[in-house]
């Protein structure tokens, strides 16, 4: 059945940025009003994964790919239990869905979940604007079609910088994801806004994942006797995540192998003594070239981050637990994309990446990092056993 945006009579919607730039389009998904930080995502596939990624909490996502909704919505590809984006901006919304796994349309799903969308927008113009001026607050409305009035509301909406959003996205109770096949490791995964694919990739490698609320303590972590600790991706400003930094410091003090993704990389950076900063318009897409400096190989990776770690690219930094260095770099702009911590004998104690080896959406080039995690845990276990025997 044809949906409204493709017919002549469709409900108007308006988008206003905090600097006053205005775009008019048509409504899709839920009607109403929404505010958030405007960011653009350049992936050509995977809108379902993107919309359900908790890291997009409080963000209004602009899809640069012009056709959205072509494959509808299915029951298999969600990355969490709901859509997290604050709003969705597209150019051409599909009238039909065409895919053998599709269960319903994107439009229906957004409406069912109360997410406001706007279509028929010059998304390239909007993206160029954000590239030049930086990510900023935005409002979308189907109620208030006066740009000035909507702008006033945008200016009173909360900023992303300084936002601590972890409490909004973390699990309330611990959850257990069983290992696939033989269980080889136990991992305590701190949920700062984790995507479903992350524990899936771990479980495939024989890891039993204990997903823990962000407010967990070191005692609660140690209570499950983990082989390693993992901090997930998540929304918000890492500079505001002091609790998570404190917890990770205790994890490192307890000599637990550590692996972090995205927000987990920024927390690791802070725990190691580095600062973080807000990128002008962030990395959001699935085509970002990252070099693994240990192998000099380039991997094409999925990104979704507006903040980054400020660490020296070519020098090691001494920390209480050993030497930290930058392990991965984005070849587009030299942003720090990974950190590693080695003890004085060179043993890997912890590492993290700013991007998404679990992909979903995105290429699988970096899946090896999950293997690196299991190797680190195996090595740590072997040396611990060795020490125990001695």
Of 92 and 227, the one with the shorter C-beta distance to other proteins is 92
Is residue 11 close enough to count as binding other proteins by CB under 8 A? no
Q: How far is the CB of 233 from other proteins (least distance, A)?
A: 17
# binding residues, other proteins (CB under 8 A): 59
Of 216 and 330, the one with the shorter C-beta distance to other proteins is 330
Of 40 and 84, the one with the shorter C-beta distance to other proteins is 40
Is residue 384 close enough to count as binding other proteins by CB under 8 A? no
Torsion 237-240-242-247 (CA) sign: negative
Of 95 and 381, the one with the shorter C-beta distance to other proteins is 95
Nearest to 259 by CA among 164, 78, 380, 345: 380
Is residue 127 close enough to count as binding other proteins by CB under 8 A? yes
Site string for other proteins, 222-261 (x = CB under 8 A): ----------------------------------------
Q: For the chain, state the CA radius of gyration.
A: 21
Which of 123-131, 173-181, 254-262, 373-381 is the region at the interface with other proteins (rule: CB under 8 A)?
123-131
| Rounded alpha-carbon distances, angstroms, from residue 318 to 80, 273, 280, 312, 326 | 37, 9, 29, 12, 12
Site string for other proteins, 336-375 (x = CB under 8 A): -----------------------xxxxxx--x--------
Of 57 and 91, the one with the shorter C-beta distance to other proteins is 91
H-state helical runs in the chain = 47-51, 106-112, 123-133, 147-156, 166-169, 197-203, 218-223, 242-253, 263-271, 368-389
Interface with other proteins in residues 132-171 (CB under 8 A): none
With CB under 8 A as the contact rule, the residue among 64, 216, 352, 354 that binds other proteins is: 64
Of 151 and 302, the one with the shorter C-beta distance to other proteins is 302
Is residue 184 close enough to count as binding other proteins by CB under 8 A? no
With CB under 8 A as the contact rule, the residue among 145, 254, 298, 316 that binds other proteins is: 298
Interface with other proteins in residues 189-228 (CB under 8 A): none
With CB under 8 A as the contact rule, the residue among 288, 352, 354, 374 that binds other proteins is: 288
With CB under 8 A as the contact rule, the residue among 4, 44, 186, 368 that binds other proteins is: 44
Catalytic residues: 262, 356, 358
Q: Are 59 and 193 in contact (CB under 8 A)?
A: no
| Rounded alpha-carbon distances, angstroms, from residue 140 to 14, 37, 66, 116, 129 | 6, 11, 19, 7, 16
Token pair recorded at residue 352: 């993290």
Is residue 385 close enough to count as binding other proteins by CB under 8 A? no
Token pair recorded at residue 245: 């930094």
What is the DSSP annotation of 43-110?
-SS-HHHHHT-GGGBTEEEEE-SSEESTT-B-SS--SSSS--BSEEE-SEE-SS---TT--B-HHHHH
Of 76 and 345, the one with the shorter C-beta distance to other proteins is 76
With CB under 8 A as the contact rule, the residue among 11, 12, 20, 67 that binds other proteins is: 67
The number of beta carbons lying within 10 Å of the beta carbon of residue 122 is 13
Q: How far is the CB of 149 from other proteins (least distance, A)?
A: 22
Q: Are 102 and 77 in contact (CB under 8 A)?
A: no
Nearest to 161 by CA among 127, 137, 185, 143: 137
Which of 178-186, 215-223, 234-242, 326-334 is the region at the interface with other proteins (rule: CB under 8 A)?
326-334
- With tokens 């069912």, the residue in question is 112
154-185 per-residue burial string, b: 16 or more CB within 10 A, e: under 16: beebeebeebbbbeebbeeebeebebeeeeeb
Which of 70-78, 183-191, 336-344, 368-376 is the region at the interface with other proteins (rule: CB under 8 A)?
70-78
Torsion 105-108-114-116 (CA) sign: positive
Of 112 and 331, the one with the shorter C-beta distance to other proteins is 331
Q: Where along the sequence are the contacts to other proteins (CB under 8 A)?
A: 2, 6-8, 23, 40, 42-46, 48-49, 64-67, 70-71, 74, 76-77, 91-92, 94-101, 122-125, 127-128, 131, 285-289, 291, 296-298, 300, 331-333, 359-364, 367
């Amino acid at each position: 059945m044809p949906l409204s945006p493709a017919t002549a009579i469709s409900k108007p919607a308006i988008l206003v940025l905090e600097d006053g730039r205005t775009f008019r389009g048509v409504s899709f998904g839920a009607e109403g009003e929404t505010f958030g930080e405007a960011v653009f995502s350049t992936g050509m596939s995977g809108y379902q994964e993107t919309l359900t990624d908790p890291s997009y909490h409080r963000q209004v996502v602009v899809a640069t790919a012009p056709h959205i909704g072509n494959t509808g919505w299915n029951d298999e590809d969600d990355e969490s239990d709901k859509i997290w984006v604050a709003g969705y901006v597209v150019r051409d919304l599909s009238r039909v869905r065409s895919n053998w796994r599709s269960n319903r349309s994107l439009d229906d799903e957004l409406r069912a979940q109360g997410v406001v969308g706007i279509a028929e927008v010059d998304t390239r113009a909007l993206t160029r604007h954000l590239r030049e001026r930086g990510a900023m607050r935005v409002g979308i409305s189907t109620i208030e079609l006066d740009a000035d009035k909507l702008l006033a509301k945008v200016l009173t909406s909360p900023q992303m910088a300084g936002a601590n959003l972890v409490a909004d996205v973390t699990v309330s109770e611990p959850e257990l994801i069983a290992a696939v096949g033989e269980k080889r490791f136990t991992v305590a995964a701190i949920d700062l806004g984790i995507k479903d694919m992350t524990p899936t990739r771990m479980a495939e490698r024989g890891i039993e994942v204990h997903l823990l609320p962000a407010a967990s303590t070191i005692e609660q972590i140690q209570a499950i006797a983990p082989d390693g600790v993992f901090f997930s991706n998540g929304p918000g400003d890492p500079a505001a995540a002091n609790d998570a930094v404190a917890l990770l410091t205790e994890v490192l003090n307890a000599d637990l192998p550590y692996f972090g993704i995205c927000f987990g990389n920024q927390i690791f950076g802070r725990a190691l003594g580095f600062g973080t900063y807000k990128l002008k318009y962030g990395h959001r897409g699935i085509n970002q070239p990252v070099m693994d400096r240990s192998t000099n190989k380039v991997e094409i990776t999925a990104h979704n981050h507006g903040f980054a770690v400020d660490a020296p690219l070519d020098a090691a930094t001494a920390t209480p637990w050993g030497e930290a260095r930058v392990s991965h770099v984005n070849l587009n702009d030299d942003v720090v994309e990974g950190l590693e911590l080695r003890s004085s004998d060179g043993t890997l104690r912890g590492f993290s990446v700013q991007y998404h080896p679990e992909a979903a959406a995105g290429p699988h080039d970096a899946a090896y990092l999950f293997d690196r995690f299991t190797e680190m845990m195996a090595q740590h276990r072997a040396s611990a056993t060795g020490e125990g025997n001695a």
